[in-house]
Amino acid sequence: MAEFKAPLRDIHFVLDELLDYDGHYQQLEGMAETNQELRHAILKEAAKFAEQNLAPLRRSGDEEGCTWSEEGVSTPAGFKEAYQQYVEGGWAGLAMPEAFCGQALPSSLALTVAIINMQANHAWSMYPGLTAGCLDTLLAHGTEQQQQKYLPKLVSGEWSGTMCLTESQGGSDLSFLRTKAQDNGDGSYAITGTKIFISAGEHDLTENIVHVVLARLADAPAGTKGISLFIVPKFDVTEPSQCGKRNAVHCGSIEHKMGIHANSTCVMNFNEARGYLIGNPNEGLKCMFTFMNNARIGTAAQGLVGSELAYQGALNYALEREAGRSLTGTKSPERPADRLIVHPDVRRMLLTIKALNEGNRAFIHYVSQLSDLELHGNDQQKQEGGELLALLTPIAKGFMTEAGLEAANIGVQVFGGHGYIREWGMEQSIRDARISTLYEGTTGIQALDLLGRKVMGDGGKTLTQFITLIANDLAEMDDEFARPLGVKLQEWGDLTQTIGAAAMNNADEVGGASVDYLMYSGYVILAWMWGRMATLAKEKLTDNDDVFYLAKVSTAKFYFQKLLPRTESLKTTIETGAQSLMDISDEEFEQLAEIC
């Protein structure tokens, strides 16, 4: 595969030109200094760091994987050194408060840097990525004493963090949670239980690992209302930033996975480990949503890993590889065959990747602005931004990760048989991308969150506001795109009403339509992004003929003609309702399972 290059030009286009990040930061307290010049300087360094330190370890890390022993987990060769560089470069605390020696830059900028790191090395990027969730939780819900103890070294990156939610009995269903917390009477709790699928649960990159753990107090009510949140450090922390006694939390084994081999996925055993309550007893789920929403945006962004790597790989391959002749006549008479790029179907594949990749890039940085507003805006911005963010988070997570997986698959397809061979690096993109639609809530879970909670939950209020917001854009949008987008906006609202009416009689109509609805919503949002990008690019082209802008307009046309029409099938499948899904009874499925 071609060497990874951070797509800085396109990132700048989205941040500077499309989404006016300068104006955005100026309205946020303390963020005005993060202007274009500063952003470019930081992103240039971030690109250099990722290209030089992380990308070269992508393949080798996949081949070597992590190694478990009684003593702990070893990461692949080079991972520790790269992490050291990351800490020394001050990257860990980019968006953290200055009080803890962070740099207090906007979290949207930190996400932009994180995406570059993910694209360079998905597995590596998860080690600092998991720390972010732990940090956010402590910042939002930790006591001052807890913050003093843990935050400085988490912010510097010298310590890392995890989120320990899942147990073997139930993945998405936290009512199964069994891990116990027994009050020690000294302000600490004895945590006992086993967690599975703990990413970065154990490794050799940092001197301490701070686990954020869901557990039940002895007298807690049953179900999800009896869950509390605890800090359980690998080494107990008695003085601020000082590692004390080894705690009774150990990695029992690591999973053998399809991909992200270089990230340790751990079974974590807590055996009366010392833990410390975060927030109020039995309010763990509420606290958890703090980091879960952020984690979902981070995972949404992972959709850009599969698509960016597919784009860079497929574009270069299509320009180099020779096969067949163009059906409209030889294009390279000096070569024994024309290049792949002459073939319309190869271009269809390449443009599909490009349209999903760049559309989703615009989408994630838009969502990221909402996250800034929720964190740093004035009261009205906090509320409005927060509501819109809540609506868009499941769409971003579900749609972008599905799109990333599709793009990674197409990337392999462009390479033909070579795509299947490990040394080309393309098939790893599928294996790595495959996790993104599963963890942090599967696409099905996101879809239920979207349609059941976020849309039906407020009677369609936030959705209607969002549709109005897009509709207000149409007047300024090039008519070629505004017209079909306007039709889709109307249809989106109508479809929502159709489902709502059906759901009044049968709640299963929500579940039956949910994933199709989520994907439909994603395609409409990307049409909005592409309409805006093309309109902007056309304006720019009045001054110059930069191929970058030409390609934006062409790719927008492609998107509207070749990808947006997927909404037509989705509309039909939504309208046909849930009946055909529920026809076969559970008992009949049992009987079918016995037939062979």
Applying CB under 8 A, does 327 fall inside the site for a copy of itself? Answer: yes
| Options 358, 374, 387, 427; binder of a copy of itself; rule CB under 8 A | 427
CA distance 227 to 166: 13
Applying CB under 8 A, does 418 fall inside the site for a copy of itself? Answer: yes
What does DSSP say about strands 208-217 and 228-233: parallel, antiparallel, or unpaired? antiparallel
Name the phi and psi angles at 235, rounded to 5: -110, 130
Applying CB under 8 A, does 590 fall inside the site for a copy of itself? Answer: yes
Tell the smallest beta-carbon distance from residue 515 to a copy of itself (Å): 6
CA distance 445 to 269: 27
Annotate each residue in 140-179 with x if it binds a copy of itself (CB under 8 A) or - if it does not, as one string. Answer: --------------------------x--xxxxx-xx---
| Options 187, 221, 244, 344; binder of a copy of itself; rule CB under 8 A | 344
> Which span (81-89, 135-143, 293-301, 320-328) binds a copy of itself, by CB under 8 A?
320-328
| Options 32, 77, 140, 592; binder of a copy of itself; rule CB under 8 A | 592
Tokens 């970065």 -> residue: 200
Tokens 């004493």 -> residue: 145
Q: Smaller CB distance to a copy of itself: residue 497 or 576?
A: 576
Site for a copy of itself in 236-255 (CB under 8 A): 255
| Options 256, 475, 504, 542; binder of a copy of itself; rule CB under 8 A | 256
Tokens 């989703």 -> residue: 360
CA distance 354 to 362: 12
Applying CB under 8 A, does 456 fall inside the site for a copy of itself? Answer: no
Site for a copy of itself in 43-102 (CB under 8 A): none
Applying CB under 8 A, does 377 fall inside the site for a copy of itself? Answer: no
What does DSSP say about strands 159-164 and 208-217: parallel, antiparallel, or unpaired? parallel
Site for a copy of itself in 513-542 (CB under 8 A): 514-515
List C-alpha distances in Å: 266 to 68, 78, 231, 531, 567. Answer: 9, 21, 17, 44, 39
| Options 444, 460, 493, 500; binder of a copy of itself; rule CB under 8 A | 444
278 torsion bin: left (phi>0), alpha (psi -120 to 50), beta (else): beta
Closest CA to 306 of 200, 393, 396, 402: 402
> Which span (179-187, 202-210, 257-265, 478-486) binds a copy of itself, by CB under 8 A?
257-265
Q: In the annotation, is 440 catalytic?
A: yes
State the catalytic residue, choosing from 387, 440, 587, 588.
440
Tell the smallest beta-carbon distance from residue 59 to a copy of itself (Å): 11
Q: How many chain residues touch a copy of itself (CB under 8 A)? A: 112
What residues have CB less than 8 Å from 80, skipping those under 6 apart? 204, 205
Q: State how far Cα 156 lies from the chain centre.
A: 23
CA distance 267 to 157: 23
Active site residues: 440
